[in-house]
Amino acid sequence: MNRRRILVEFGDCDPAHIVFFANYFRWFDDCTTALFLAAGLPIRELFPSHKVLGIPVVEATAQFLAPATHGDELLVESSVAEIRKSSFVITHKFFHGKVLLLEGRETRVWAAAHPTEPNRMKALPLPKEVIESLSDKHKKAGKKSARNRR
C-alpha cells in the first residue's frame, strides 16, 4: 500500500464547489505512478528499459460516497489488489479525515507497440521484477510517497 496526500484546489471543483468527478480519475493515475515509485519502479525509467509504451487503463470504476471541496486535504491509500499475466488491478481509497469519500478500482495492462499494426498496442506478460515489487510480500504497508501534491 502507498499513501499520498492531495490538497483539493479551487480549480479541482465544479460550480457546486465539490470535486469534479473526473479529477478523481486523474488522481488515480497520479497515485498509481506514486505507487510504482514507492515500489522502486520509477515509470520514467521502467518503460524504456522494458520497451513498453505504458500501462493503459482498460477499466476504471468509482463509488462516490461523500463529497470533497476546495481546501480539503485528502489521504489516498492505493494498493495492488490483483496481479494477472499481463494486467493488474489497483484500488484507491480517498479519505477526508476518517471519512471514506471514494473507493476506486482500475485495471491496467502492460502494453507495448503492436508489431504489425502501428495504431494499436499489444499486452505483454508482466516482468518478474514488476510482479515481485508490486506483490504483498515485497511492499511495505503504509509507505508514504515522497511526492505529495500540495
In whole angstroms, give the CA distance from residue 63 to residue 52: 31
Question: In what helix (H) or strand (E) does residue 5 lie, and over which residues does it extend?
Answer: strand 2-7
Which amino acid belongs to residue 39?
A
Q: Which three cell numbers stand for residue 57?
A: 487503463
User: DSSP secondary-structure letter at 27?
Assistant: H
Answer whether 54's CB lies under 8 Å from 65's CB: no
Phi and psi, residue 72, nearest 5°: -70, 140
Which of 14, 29, 30, 72 is the catalytic position?
14
Phi and psi, residue 6, nearest 5°: -130, 125
14: annotated active-site residue: yes
Question: In what helix (H) or strand (E) does residue 49 lie, and over which residues does it extend?
Answer: helix 43-50
- Which residues are catalytic, by number? 14
